[in-house]
Structure 1
Amino acid sequence: MRISRTVLPALTAAGAAVLLLAPLTAAAAAASLTATFAQTSVWGSGYGAEFAVTNRGDAAASGWVVEFDLPAGSAVSSSWDSTRTSTGQHHRFANASWNGAVAAGATVRFGFNVSGTGVPVNCTVNGLPCAGGPAPSSPPSTPPSSSPSSSPSSPPSSPPSSPPPSGSIVDVSTAAQLEAALAAARPGQTIRLAPGVYDGSFIGTTPGTAAAPITVTGPRTAVLTNPASAGSGPSCPVPTPGWDPGYGFWLAGAPYWRLSGFTVANAKKGVVVDDSPHVTLDGLYVHHIGDEGVHFRRSSSDGVLRGSTIEYTGTAQPAYGEGVYLGSANSNWACHGNTGGVDRSDRVQVLDNHIGPYVAAEHIDVKEGTLDGVIRGNTFDGRGIAGQNSADSWVDVKGTGYLIQGNTGTFAPPGTFANGYETHNPVAGSGCGNVWRDNRSDLGGAGRYAVNVTSTSKCAGNLNVVYSSNSVTNATGGLTNISVTSG
């Protein structure tokens, strides 16, 4: 249960990006790793940074180790998405268990904070220079005399490009091409992503139509990233020139879009759908997101999220790390409630997705004011639920008239877990009239009820219903705290 949160302007992230050297062409049928350093934020006594490990070869890499030195007076104070060993000024980062495999053309990232202003030198990846190519005959004897420029350098994957073709199918292979294609999109057009990493700000604002939707599609190895917001935006997020909110993919005032197949990772938020009804998200892979993974917001009704995988959310703010977020808390309706003062993201269907592990808040948070959605056929892996801001269940239903059917949920440590499904009633009539059928719940010996209904008196005349077709194992309480209905 997310209680409430105010909407704040995005913070400006000062940063610098450094390409250590230009990578060389990989040998045939072999992996060829490079590692690119970037500062993602800077403060008076230190900075935050990341390395992007990219496989520019034509065979998969099964693991990676990045090593570098920091000048005296600087030290790594914390790190994530890797296993770190530090000896004096030398730092070694090996892949974590989940990000060691790097497919040809793919990129993985790990991050760290530095106390001090010195930047990495003598960088190697798997024993070779971070830029690729053969090992040097002797390492540099002295570190650079100055810090890198604070102006981000353009990644090699995103050179300036000519305007995209105007045909019904637009093929893109760089971030610049994708941004241009989205800006020029028109109803009936399909934008196709080639495999690779697209690092930028990706937004669609052109409405499609029911007869001619706009489609963005690509393989899972097409990875959209947006690791740092930039510029100054309004308190209520709307597209604003010069402002990047840090979303992986943003639809704003863009109904009838279809996003299919690709990956969104390393972004402040994953996919945000604002004021955009009839949007379908199909087969996406969303992971390593600072806040929530997918958000239908500002009366984005009649949407579908189907066949997607969402994991590792809330990496920056666990309290706001929902896997799927439907609507807005009533405390934010002044900002996001554009239909009668309420965020009416109604009739959204969440179907056949795999959500978790390490979704830090609820796997699905259904907000008050939303109606008549469907949550069916999903798999919830509760490992890593953080328990912050009262988030301690797979699904928290504060909406009304939802069908929750045929889902499978499990929980195992680590994490905080109270119940499988919960209802709450933050405004009159909310959290009522919901139906549970055919769900299977394994509470791991930690959860009390598969379905915990907070109040029946607040739902008089429109009660929540839990049918006997639901099952539960390893519960400290049982199936539910209300009477079970046969069927």
Structure 2
Amino acid sequence: MRRSTAGLAGLVAAGLLALPARAAASIQTLAPPPAPVIDVDTSAELRSALASAAPGQTIRMAAGEYRGAFLARKAGTASQPITLTGPRTAVLVNDGPSGAAPSCPVPTAGWDSGYGLWLYGAPYWNRTGFTVKDSKKGVVIDDSRHVKADGLYVHHVEEEGVHFRKSSADGVLRNSAIEHTGLVRPGYGEGVYLGSAGSNWGCHGNSGGADRSDRVLVENNRIGPHVAAEAIDVKEGTFAGTIRGNTFDGRGISGQNSADSWVDVKGVDYLIEGNKGTFAPPGAFANGYETHNPGTTPAFANGCGTVWRGNTSDLGGAGAYAVKVTSVSKCSGRPNVVHSSNTVKRATSGLTNVPVTP
């Protein structure tokens, strides 16, 4: 009878079978791969599964509430991403923060960030279906490229809902719902945050001094109501993202820390298309979409090169323009373009303050 290589490996490991060193090493490498699906239904099991995750694995949460700090630091691969999934009734809650915080956010023993789910140095993850609530921040993706989220529900968090940070490029957020953010610091309660302010690049600028969270796709999400800052804040130094097919409900936007639009674009070469935005009281509302041009070192054409097309905007009689371009002269070499396929109603000033492109 032929023994399987897994059986031979077990005998070698147990010391019951002696083989030449080269043959033994060859058999050891044929040990079975990690289990493809890990089912969890407690917080302790979830933390353990995240800590030991391997490429190609799926961590599957049962319905229920998972309380504590949930951190992922293992990397998937392009061909074998790691998946964290669960029904909407699988709910992550973090009652932190606690302990002494480091000068820059980095996983540190004895410190709980307060983030509902934190990926740090963990590329190629998929996250689907579950809920994050009652946390300092909802989902934070740091130094983690090619991270995808589909069908998440993030609500009732103190600050932003979902943050791609520390050069977490090529990410995707789609088919998700974000509401009731900025419960403690309204001016820092963005629905989706892409990159970092230049003033924070000392912590998050790990790509030539900048936070290059580039090419993030934000698609088919519902953001709002009661998102206290912008639905999406596109930070300086990020490039070539796409914001498509989303619904923005501006009720409850705070007006604090210049939060008075659905989308604030300080990045470069973005495409904004097919979105639907509305505003109604309560809230402070200036324009539907805005651009700004902060200076940074290294220097980028911040707030330039964005294209708007096919967006529908209802400013509720409160906002001035559907698209307000702050500075034309600063973008003369890389102009922002507003196409005539955009429409607006109940605006106090009109579609845009720049010439419309057919």
TM-score calculated relative to the size of structure 1? 0.66
Partner of residue 234, structure 2:
366
Whether 2:218 is the aligned partner of 1:346: answer no
Per the alignment, residue 162 of structure 2 pairs with 294
Q: 1:378 aligns with which of 246, 265, 273?
A: 246
Alignment of 1:327 with 2:214, yes or no, is no
* Match of residue 436 from structure 1: 308
Counterpart for residue 345 of structure 2:
473
Residue 116 (structure 2) pairs with residue 276 (structure 1): no
**Higher-helix-fraction structure:** 2
Partners of 1:315 and 1:378 lie apart in 2 by 23
Q: Which amino acid aligns with 2:194?
A: L
Tell me how far apart the structure 1 counterparts of residues 177 and 64 of structure 2 sit (CA, whole Å).
19
Alpha-carbon offset, residue 166 of structure 1: 4.6
Which of 327, 331, 341 matches 1:455? 327
- Could you tell me which residue of structure 2 aligns to residue 179 of structure 1? 47
Q: CA RMSD in A?
A: 0.9
Measure the CA separation in 2 of the matches of 1:323 and 1:263. 14
Q: What is the CA distance between 1:360 and its match in structure 2?
A: 0.1
The alignment partner of 1:235 has SS state of coil
**1:92-241 paired onto structure 2 within 5 Å:** 166-241=34-109
Equivalent of 2:336 in 464, 475, 478: 464
What is residue 119 of structure 1 aligned with on the other side?
A: none
Task: Give the distance between the partners of 2:95 and 2:354, measured in 1 at CA.
Answer: 44
Q: Distance in 1 between matches of 2:108 and 2:96?
A: 16
Offset from partner CA, 1:257-304 (integer Å, 9 cap, x none): 011000000000000000000000110000000000000000000000
Distance in structure 1 (CA, Å) of the matches to 2:100 and 2:128: 30
After superposition, the C-alpha distances for 1:160-218 in whole angstroms (9 at most, x for unaligned) are: xxxxx951100000111100110110110000000000001101000100000000000
Please give the secondary structure, in 2, of the residue aligned with 1:482. Answer: coil
Could you report, residue by residue, the CA deviation over 1:350-404 in whole angstroms, capped at 9, with x for unpaired residues? Answer: 0000000000000000000000000000000000000000100000000000000
Tell me which moved more, 235-244 or 209-218: 235-244
CA distance in structure 1 between the aligned counterparts of 2:101 and 2:341, rounded to whole angstroms: 49
Letter in 1 for 2:90: A
Aligned to 1:147: none
- Whether 1:357 and 2:225 are equivalent positions in the alignment is yes
Following TM superposition, by how much is the alpha carbon of 1:228 offset from its aligned partner in structure 2, in angstroms?
2.1
Structure 2 residue identity aligned to 1:167:
A
**Residue 443 of structure 1: CA displacement?**
0.1
Percent identity, please: 70
Gaps of at least 5 residues in structure 2 are 1-32
Q: Deviation per CA, 1:312-361: give whole Å up to 9, x if none.
A: 00001101000000000000011100000000000000000000000000
In the alignment, structure 1 residue 484 sits paired with structure 2 residue 352: no
2:126 maps to which of 252, 258, 269: 258
C-alpha distance in structure 1 between counterparts of 2:309 and 2:329, whole Å: 22
Instruction: Kindly state the Cα deviation for residue 231 of structure 1 after the two structures are TM-superposed.
Output: 1.2
**Counterpart-to-counterpart distance in 2, 1:184 and 1:241:** 17
Match in the other structure for 2:14: none
Matched, 1:394 2:266: no
Task: Name the structure 2 match of 1:104.
Answer: none
Residue 154 of structure 1 corresponds to: none
Count of residue pairs the alignment pairs up: 322
Cα deviation code 1:43-95 (max 9, x no counterpart):
xxxxxxxxxxxxxxxxxxxxxxxxxxxxxxxxxxxxxxxxxxxxxxxxxxxxx
The TM-score, its normalising length taken from structure 2, stands at 0.89
Q: Which amino acid aligns with 1:464?
A: N
2:134 aligned counterpart, secondary structure:
strand
CA distance in 1, matches of 2:123, 2:109: 21
Moved over 3 A (4+): none
Q: What is the identity, as a one-letter code, of the residue corresponding to 2:240?
A: D
The runs of 5 or more residues in structure 1 that have no matched partner are 1-164
